[in-house]
Amino acid sequence: MVANEAASQVGETPQNIQVTTVWKDFFSVIKIGIVNSNLITTFTGLWLAFYFMGEGFLENLQTVFFTLFGSALIIAGACSLNNFIDRDIDHLMERTKTRPTVKGTMEPKRVLWLGIFLTVIGTISLLMTTVTAAVIGLIGVITYVFLYTMWSKRSNTLNTVIGSISGAVPPVIGWTAVDPHFHVVPLVLFLLMFLWQPPHFLALAMKRCEEYRAAGIPMLPVVHGFAMTKRQIVVWVACLLPLPFYLFSLGIPFLVIATLLNVGWLALGLYGFKMKDDLKWAKWMFIYSLNYLTILFVTMVIASID
C-alpha cells in the first residue's frame, strides 16, 4: 500500500515501473550504445555507396531501411549472445556486474533465444538488399561471438585485434547493400574501423586493467603491462595516417580534417610517454577515440553531399 502511494505521488504505477525495467534490461542486453555507434558507420558506408555509384538516396529508401534495420538487429543479436556467454565473468567487473544476466532480471535462455532471433531476422532483412551484405553481416556475428567472445577474449592478448574484425564490418555492410562488388572505398572504411579499434579498446583496457585481471581476461595491459600497451596504441594510431588519402575524391576539406584528427591523436599518443599518470592518459586517449570516429564519419557524409 505504501509502495503504491509512493508510486502514484511520482506519477508512476508499479506496472509502469516494471515496463520501464523490462525495456532498460532489453537495451542493456543488446548493448544499445554499441548498436547506435555502429549504425553511424553503417550509414556512412551506405551513403558513400550511393555517392560513388551515382545513385540517389531518396530513390532507394527501401534499401536504406532494410540495411539499417538488418544491421541494427544482427549487431543487437551478437551483443545479446555475448551477454549470454559472458555471464560467468561479468559479475567480476564493475562495468558489467549490473547486466540483466548477472542480476537475474533476464533468464539466460531468453537472452540466448533473443540473440538468435535478432540475428536471424537481421540476416533476412539484409538479404532484402544483397546476398553479399547478408554474408558479411554473418561474418561479423561469427567473428564476434565465436572467435572473440568464446575463444580469443579468454585465451590470448590478440583478443582486441580479432574482435576488431567484427567491429570493422558495419560500413562494409552498408556499402555492399548498394554495390556487392569490390571497391576500394569499403576496403578503406574497413581498415579505418579495424585500425581504430585496438587503440580505442586498449585505452579502455588500461582504465579497467584491474577488473580484467580479476575476471581472468588476458588483455594486453594485464599480461604485458602499461608500457607495452602504450607502444602498441601509438603504432596502431600511426597506421591510420595514410588511409584518408585513399579517399581523396571526397575533397581537400575532408583530407585536411581527417589528417588533423590523425596527427592530433598520434601527438596525444606520443605525449603519453612523458606523462606519469598512465590512467589519465588512457582516459584522454579513449575520449579522443570516440570523438575521432564520430567527427571522421560525419565529415565523410558532409563531404559527399552534392
CA 141 centroid distance within chain: 12
Assigned CATH topology for domain 1-181: Tetracycline Repressor; domain 2 (1.10.357)
What is the length of the chain? 306
Distance CA 288, CA 242 (A): 19
pTM of the model: 0.91
All structural domains of the chain with their residue ranges: 1-181, 183-306
Please report the pLDDT score of residue 13 as a whole number. 56
Please report the pLDDT score of residue 225 as a whole number. 96
Please report the pLDDT score of residue 155 as a whole number. 94
Please report the pLDDT score of residue 7 as a whole number. 39
Please report the pLDDT score of residue 16 as a whole number. 54
CA 219 centroid distance within chain: 18
| Packing angle, helices 278-303 and 220-238, rounded to 10 | 40
**Could you tell me the three cell numbers for 297?**
564519419
User: Which residue, among 259, 282, 140, has the nearest Cα to 200 in the 3D structure?
Assistant: 282
Mind listing the pLDDT tens digit of every residue in the chain (306 residues)? 334 433 334 445 555 555 558 889 999 999 999 999 999 999 999 999 999 999 999 999 999 999 999 999 999 999 999 999 999 998 888 888 889 998 889 999 999 999 999 999 999 999 999 999 999 999 999 999 999 999 999 999 999 999 999 999 999 999 999 999 989 999 999 999 999 999 999 999 999 999 999 999 999 999 999 999 999 999 999 999 999 999 999 999 999 999 999 999 999 999 999 999 999 999 999 999 999 999 999 999 999 997
Please report the pLDDT score of residue 182 as a whole number. 87
Please report the pLDDT score of residue 98 as a whole number. 87
Output DSSP code: residue 93: S
**In the chain, which residue ranges form alpha helices assigned H by DSSP?**
2-9, 14-29, 32-53, 61-85, 100-103, 108-127, 131-142, 153-155, 159-167, 170-176, 184-207, 209-215, 220-238, 252-271, 278-303
